[in-house]
Amino acid sequence: MHLLFLGTGTSQGVPMIGCDCAVCASSDPKNKRFRSSLLIQNDRQVVIDTGPDFRMQALAHRLQQVDATVYTHCHTDHIMGFDDLRRFCEITGTSLPVYGSQFTIDALQRIFPYAFDSNLKVSTYVRAQPHIVAANGEFSIGNTGFIPIDVPHGNTPTFGYIILDRGVRKAAYLPDCAALTDSMAGALRDIPLLIIDGLREQPHPTHLHIEAAIAAGRRVGAKITYLTHLTHNVSHQERQKTLPDGVFLAYDGLRLEL
C-alpha cells in the first residue's frame, strides 16, 4: 500500500491569492500546497477528499483510475472538485462509490444533485453511488479498510479515518481536527503513522496547531507523525529542521510506502 499526498494545504492553498510573504513567493515546490487530499494506492485507488484543485492534482500525478472516494467532511476545500471525478465514470462506464457521513453525502447531493440522479443517462457526467458511513461503521474498498473517527471541527460533522491494509492498521488521516479527545486517543493508540492537521504556529479554534499536533502524535504513541493542512505561515525547509524526531511536514507529491 502506498499513500500519495495530492494536497497538503489549508482552505486557501499556498501560495495564497494576493499574498507576497516569503512562503507564498517561494519557488520551493514543497511550499506549494494544493487543498488537502490523499490518494491511497492499493489493489484499488481511493481518493480521500476532492477539493477545488482536484483536476490539477489528477493531472500532476497522471491519475488514470479512481475506484472510490471517501470524504472527511463537506467544507468547500474538501469537496468542490467533485464534478471532476466525471472522467473516471466516463473511463469505466460506471458510477463511482462515494463514502461519507450522512451529513456529508447530503451536502454533496445538495450541491451536485445531477450526480445522484439514477435516471441520468449522460455518460460524461459524474455519477455517484452513495455509501453512508456511520460513526464506528468500518468499511472496506478492496483490501483497504477504513475506520471512521468522529473528530471535533467547529460545527461541521467531520471524520478522520484509520486506514487498514488487509485488516492491519497502517495509518490514520485526520486533516481537519480541532482537538484530540479521549475517545480519539483510544482509537488511535499505537497507530504506526499519524497524519494530522498541523495548520500553523498559532492556535486556532477549529484546527490543531503545530505544537498541539506534535503532542497528539506523542500522546497516541505514533511511531511517525506527518503534519498536513498547512497554511502559508509554515515554510517547509525552515520548519522541518526544528521538528522533533519522527515528526515531519507533509508536502504535495510525498509518497509513502506502508
- CA neighbor of 225 nearest in space, from 256, 252, 200: 256
Which range in 72-80, 132-140, 234-242, 245-253 contacts a copy of itself by CB under 8 A? 72-80
User: How far is residue 63's CA from residue 54's CA, in Å, rounded to a whole number?
Assistant: 11
Q: Which is closer to a copy of itself, CB of 107 or CB of 216?
A: 107
Q: Of residues 49, 84, 176, 252, which one binds a copy of itself by CB under 8 A?
A: 84
Which range in 41-49, 56-64, 157-165, 214-222 contacts a copy of itself by CB under 8 A? 56-64
- Which residues does 164 contact at the CB level (< 8 Å), separation at least 6? 144, 145, 146, 147, 170
Confirm or reject binding of residue 86 to a copy of itself (CB under 8 A).
Answer: yes
| String marking each residue 5-34 x if it binds a copy of itself according to CB under 8 A | ------xxx-xxxxx---------------
Q: Which residues of 112-144 are buried (b: 16+ CB within 10 A; e: fewer)?
A: beebbeeeeeeeeebbbebeebeeeeebebeeb
Confirm or reject binding of residue 56 to a copy of itself (CB under 8 A).
Answer: yes
User: How far is residue 27's CA from residue 33's CA, in Å, rounded to a whole number?
Assistant: 12
Termini Cα distance of the chain: 6
Q: Of residues 2, 110, 223, 255, which one binds a copy of itself by CB under 8 A?
A: 110
Q: Which is closer to a copy of itself, CB of 2 or CB of 110?
A: 110
Q: Of residues 21, 22, 59, 179, which one binds a copy of itself by CB under 8 A?
A: 59
Q: Using alpha carbons only, give the angle 100, 106, 109 rounded to the nearest 5 degrees.
A: 105
Confirm if 240 and 248 have CB atoms less than 8 A apart: yes
| Chain contacts with a copy of itself (rule: CB under 8 A) | 11-13, 15-19, 52-56, 58-59, 63-65, 76-77, 80-81, 83-84, 86-88, 91, 110-112
